[in-house]
Structure 1
């Protein structure tokens, strides 16, 4: 474990100083309402994780809920930030691009292309966002986020092996309400969001929410000192809620988002980079030392090809919109829910993956994604001893486009390439679930799902565009999947506040295609679906009149055909390809503790642990193959394979997360001091064949509001200790790069609520 430096340790102490000083300051003010039993209790959040409204503590599953107020307090603005608050969850963007990869309990796909779905299902108001790049819209006006760990699919939505992240946005109110929040921070970063909500008629209510982020460039070019990292994004959402009767409700929304921000610059790590743009010997770039250093470049031909200026820096020009509606009707004997949603997303993104002025790995993604999903569920009343739910899910998806690559100054390629394709996907899932209260304390449950999917790759082409045109690959392929998943479990109420559960579940994640630059027929073969059998047991409990909450779970995963980003070698080079690992396993658990000893003090802690290894895996030995490379011709004369069984799976083993919040009275003001922190252990990067180090991350905030007032002012600081750490690493072409996290940022925030 890496130790904090003296300066970092002092800064970490300062981040909690306000909280520690709380009792002393509070002693000068009138006694708090600590004797109020209700104020002393932890909030009871109603969730819909099992598609019925119930307390989060009654859900017999590994569930973490983050409220909208907690998102605001922790300054969480994108899905990537969720990893700092949920045990055994990581959200990383491959190669620093605009496509986050979700991993829960070590189960997650790593892929920078746009056409493959993830192992974790992401939903916004019950609408699936199956492709990672679609999830990059800002989190705003959110009521709560529910994160379920383990295979999902027998209650709603898509079939997944890792889990589900469900975002529930705020609903329209039946009385007028409005609010606005604005913040300004280091690197001229500005953030504003607001909403207005209320009734339009006696039966119809509406809510309009908007948000924007501007500025914040924290990186700079090592050669020109030009800044990089400015945000330029905004989003809006209009929701309507119509209740024509006590038994019928129809709600829906339309939303739009636009992201024209700078991209993330990469850093050179592990080894110097010898460029090839000035023959016979190019410039030697040393390993970067300043965490904020990066570099980029673009050739005139590539700039013309992608429609960018000749001085373009890494950028995004993404745009998305969608519309959805949901019908709920209570027949008395059962409740009907019907959901339909359409999402349209355009990805336009330029990345420089060699992180220098040399044009050896420039990449421009251009994709258009269209998804149409429909779901119908029928559920029995929730107050009966025997409860059932059945449903039908259907979706059609189209991914068009591809990417351009600038290898014009690379050692072995020296060309510009294009990879294009169209992918059509049609999925139908049928599912049902049963719950039966065998006694007042014991409940048995079981569910099944059958999913049929056809995935077609049409018109795939990899072409050399210049200096001389050449068609490297052209094909069309398809992949059909018909798989079942299911779950059986039991839950036992030891007391009204202590629930134990155990379950066995089977999850499936669909196969797909590796849509990277290709000149090899074997690279284009579809990879198979992955299957996972999850054994889990846990407890959800509350003590001391709901002031202490302890939730824990342990699990064992039998993992088959795990999808892994691997490599293939030819005589002249290496190419990426998603492969299947025949057999592996993962084991671990989570512990979450929330304690409210007084009405003013709240402490939350969580610990996640997971360990996995390959049980059957025979794969290329990259180190030995590189060592056997001919130093004169640069060709790989011998491709060496080795037995990888017994090796550790490439994900962090331990994460520790927590927060402390204290509310005090200072004169006529109420002041809340909050700090949160996150530790993640090291992990091995298969793409760079190196270790990404462990790290600590500390954040803090101080917010003041007049008693019963409508406004608040505050200050915040993220990455208090100014720690340097990396999200991903990669050895792309001859450069070894890493995507860095932001340094220390801080700012002020004001809010007003009508």
Structure 2
């Protein structure tokens, strides 16, 4: 606490003595970029023929979003909820939930590098500029195929953004300090940045018998990046090194009778995670094309104790992507990108107390690409194709008994898009795309099931949408309707420790989404987003029970986020003062395929106040879940004598955040 107070005093002194004031910079303005980097061709948001959402840095700062699950509800149909430990966070996007703990349907990228699922619980990069959410299969754009969508985190590279950033927040649930130094090393085009992050989160659970506080988490992160990008040079090369350490007892489970009291079942649940991420991104601009190489290594050691049973696992992944992309000014009638991708993953899991161990090696090779033909000044046609080969080897041992299995899976995923500019303000599009999630073997395996492979999951997506600006561009609207059919849907069956992943049949998702922003006055901005996804089994052949028509697990039937921001009229000498509030609605969600256990719909109310005494200083007062609503994010049946056990969402949080930059 003394460190926090000292830091607040340091920032208060900086506010008082900074030579830069609003009076001196009132004529300056900053226009937020509408370029969607995720398209790989830096397409304007209004011209991208797929449902897309950009989440700005300002939005993340105002509500003190620190990690991936803080993005929950910030894009239509996007639900990110804790499931066990946060590295297993369930990401559901437009009816596509991540039932596989280890290979999510929705992938996360940082600056074009795919992230290991172990990063789902860590802090967002300090230099985050914006977050882009692309819906549906994206295999023709990205090295690793994504069947449900992509969350792409874009950062300010060394040499971009502020030279110095310092941020700290204090609330009833967490304490955070983060900072970044960004400097040029001479005049040779060499830049360097160093950033660090410290996040201490307080648990909200009590021991059922001990009464002790449970659920604390401590996250430490450090990252260094070196970039060579000489002025007027075709080269841009960046090396990044990042290390994360997390210690947490967040994985607590509450019996139904103690739901509102948050009293956790008396077993040991804790983990430590060490994650190392290295990346090398190099690009060279020729006259008409850019050639890029993206290389990454990610290694994690996850020492987990769940229900008093040690369950350590480790994973090491190497990826290599080569890509060629046409430059925007190169051709008048077409543009394109094409790439090759390679990935090698080694995974191991053990339960020493049960004499159980399993290992897997997964190798992926893919070719992908797409091209757009500008038929007229209004009509575009895009075609794409992805080819995949996935080879998996697995072995498992239990009490001295060992077994092995191996298999290879191939898939082809096409894409076809028509985009039409009705007017300068309105664009419509229609698309068909496919995605494939590889088959394989259950990661947490025993000799009895190690040679039982499951087939690839095939997704077919149909979508139509419209994007428009109205009322002198004060009103922006985007809407889409979609139908997604999945064959050989992958779902966990059985009971631990012999639970296994298998193909259970077919599912369908029928939905509609809506996103809007309205500048009602010079001071008042309104926004609303809504998504409805009817995701259900259309053929279920895993058991004799007919589950046709049941909702697929972990998919909220509907989600909505409605809010406003108002710039308060204050004297210029005070700076800028704005108020924001929103209501985040999550519809009914089932936790099992039988549709017996569910979380009913609920609404979270949030609000905040931002004061900018100077253009380089922000003071944010924020409140999340102001009504202190209790709701479940994960649940399973613990068996006779235990019944249903729940994990709960975050309770009320009130905090203040200070940000200083130069």
Quote the Cα distance in structure 2 between the aligned partners of 1:380 and 1:125.
Answer: 19
Contact kept, 8 Å, 1:562 with 1:584, in 2: the verdict is yes
Residue in 2 aligned with 1:409?
A: none
Residue in 1 aligned with 2:13?
A: none
Residue in 1 aligned with 2:65?
A: 76
Residue in 2 aligned with 1:749?
A: 657
Contact kept, 8 Å, 1:181 with 1:749, in 2: the verdict is yes
Quote the Cα distance in structure 2 between the aligned partners of 1:686 and 1:575.
Answer: 18
Quote the Cα distance in structure 1 between the aligned partners of 2:185 and 2:610.
Answer: 34
Distance 1:176 1:682, change over 3 A: closer
Contact kept, 8 Å, 2:405 with 2:450, in 1: the verdict is no
Contact kept, 8 Å, 1:430 with 1:451, in 2: the verdict is yes
Residue in 2 aligned with 1:230?
A: 216
* In the alignment, structure 1 residue 642 sits paired with structure 2 residue 545: yes
Residue in 2 aligned with 1:106?
A: 95
* In the alignment, structure 1 residue 295 sits paired with structure 2 residue 265: yes
Residue in 2 aligned with 1:400?
A: 348
Deviations 1:27-66 (A, max 9, x none): xxx9xx9xx9x98x98442221210123222211111111
Contact kept, 8 Å, 1:198 with 1:207, in 2: the verdict is yes
Residue in 1 aligned with 2:397?
A: 461
* In the alignment, structure 1 residue 530 sits paired with structure 2 residue 457: yes
* In the alignment, structure 1 residue 731 sits paired with structure 2 residue 637: yes
Deviations 1:377-435 (A, max 9, x none): 1122323212121111111111123345xxxxxxxxxxx42431111111111112111
Residue in 2 aligned with 1:375?
A: 321
Alignment of 1:683-702 (within 5 A): 683-686=589-592, 689-702=596-609
Distance 1:201 1:658, change over 3 A: farther
Contact kept, 8 Å, 1:694 with 1:725, in 2: the verdict is no
Residue in 2 aligned with 1:432?
A: 369
- How much has 1:540 moved relative to structure 2? 1.6
* In the alignment, structure 1 residue 251 sits paired with structure 2 residue 206: no
Residue in 2 aligned with 1:478?
A: 406
Distance 1:418 1:69, change over 3 A: farther
- How much has 1:290 moved relative to structure 2? 3.1
* In the alignment, structure 1 residue 450 sits paired with structure 2 residue 387: yes
* In the alignment, structure 1 residue 704 sits paired with structure 2 residue 622: no
Secondary structure of 1:724's aligned partner? coil
Secondary structure of 1:260's aligned partner? strand
Secondary structure of 2:61's aligned partner? helix
Residue in 2 aligned with 1:413?
A: none
Secondary structure of 1:94's aligned partner? coil
Contact kept, 8 Å, 1:176 with 1:199, in 2: the verdict is no
- How much has 1:524 moved relative to structure 2? 5.0
Contact kept, 8 Å, 2:85 with 2:251, in 1: the verdict is yes
Quote the Cα distance in structure 2 between the aligned partners of 1:678 and 1:612.
Answer: 21
- How much has 1:648 moved relative to structure 2? 2.7
Residue in 2 aligned with 1:90?
A: 79
Quote the Cα distance in structure 1 between the aligned partners of 2:242 and 2:339.
Answer: 26
Quote the Cα distance in structure 2 between the aligned partners of 1:152 and 1:238.
Answer: 30
- How much has 1:574 moved relative to structure 2? 8.9
Contact kept, 8 Å, 1:687 with 1:730, in 2: the verdict is no
- How much has 1:748 moved relative to structure 2? 1.9
Deviations 1:689-718 (A, max 9, x none): 412221111222112121x34323332111
Contact kept, 8 Å, 1:90 with 1:103, in 2: the verdict is yes
Larger radius of gyration: 1
- How much has 1:529 moved relative to structure 2? 0.8
Residue in 1 aligned with 2:468?
A: 541
Quote the Cα distance in structure 1 between the aligned partners of 2:581 and 2:31.
Answer: 18
Secondary structure of 2:494's aligned partner? strand
Quote the Cα distance in structure 1 between the aligned partners of 2:119 and 2:661.
Answer: 31
Contact kept, 8 Å, 2:358 with 2:444, in 1: the verdict is no
Contact kept, 8 Å, 2:505 with 2:541, in 1: the verdict is no
Secondary structure of 1:84's aligned partner? coil
Contact kept, 8 Å, 1:252 with 1:324, in 2: the verdict is yes
Distance 1:428 1:523, change over 3 A: closer
* In the alignment, structure 1 residue 663 sits paired with structure 2 residue 586: no
Quote the Cα distance in structure 1 between the aligned partners of 2:398 and 2:598.
Answer: 32
TM-score by length of 1: 0.79
* In the alignment, structure 1 residue 330 sits paired with structure 2 residue 285: yes
Quote the Cα distance in structure 2 between the aligned partners of 1:600 and 1:494.
Answer: 31
Contact kept, 8 Å, 2:445 with 2:500, in 1: the verdict is no
Secondary structure of 1:156's aligned partner? coil
Q: Which of 573, 591, 600 lines up with 2:523 in the alignment?
A: 600
* In the alignment, structure 1 residue 721 sits paired with structure 2 residue 627: yes
683-692 vs 217-226, which moves further: 683-692
Distance 1:403 1:673, change over 3 A: farther
Quote the Cα distance in structure 1 between the aligned partners of 2:451 and 2:593.
Answer: 19
Secondary structure of 2:151's aligned partner? strand
Quote the Cα distance in structure 2 between the aligned partners of 1:711 and 1:42.
Answer: 18
- How much has 1:94 moved relative to structure 2? 2.7
* In the alignment, structure 1 residue 420 sits paired with structure 2 residue 323: no
Contact kept, 8 Å, 1:514 with 1:524, in 2: the verdict is no
- How much has 1:174 moved relative to structure 2? 5.8
- How much has 1:92 moved relative to structure 2? 2.7
- How much has 1:590 moved relative to structure 2? 0.8
Quote the Cα distance in structure 2 between the aligned partners of 1:235 and 1:551.
Answer: 37
Q: Which of 143, 153, 160 lines up with 2:139 in the alignment?
A: 153
* In the alignment, structure 1 residue 348 sits paired with structure 2 residue 337: no
Secondary structure of 1:723's aligned partner? coil
Quote the Cα distance in structure 2 between the aligned partners of 1:289 and 1:456.
Answer: 42
Quote the Cα distance in structure 1 between the aligned partners of 2:405 and 2:497.
Answer: 23
Quote the Cα distance in structure 1 between the aligned partners of 2:215 and 2:320.
Answer: 38
Contact kept, 8 Å, 1:134 with 1:345, in 2: the verdict is no
Quote the Cα distance in structure 2 between the aligned partners of 1:118 and 1:559.
Answer: 15
Contact kept, 8 Å, 1:492 with 1:500, in 2: the verdict is yes
Distance 1:537 1:576, change over 3 A: same
Alignment of 1:511-530 (within 5 A): 511-516=439-444, 518=446, 521-522=448-449, 525-530=452-457
- How much has 1:97 moved relative to structure 2? 5.2
Q: Which runs of 5+ in 1 are unaligned?
A: 1-29, 270-286, 298-312, 353-361, 405-415, 464-470, 621-640
For the aligned residue pairs, the C-alpha RMSD in angstroms reads 2.3
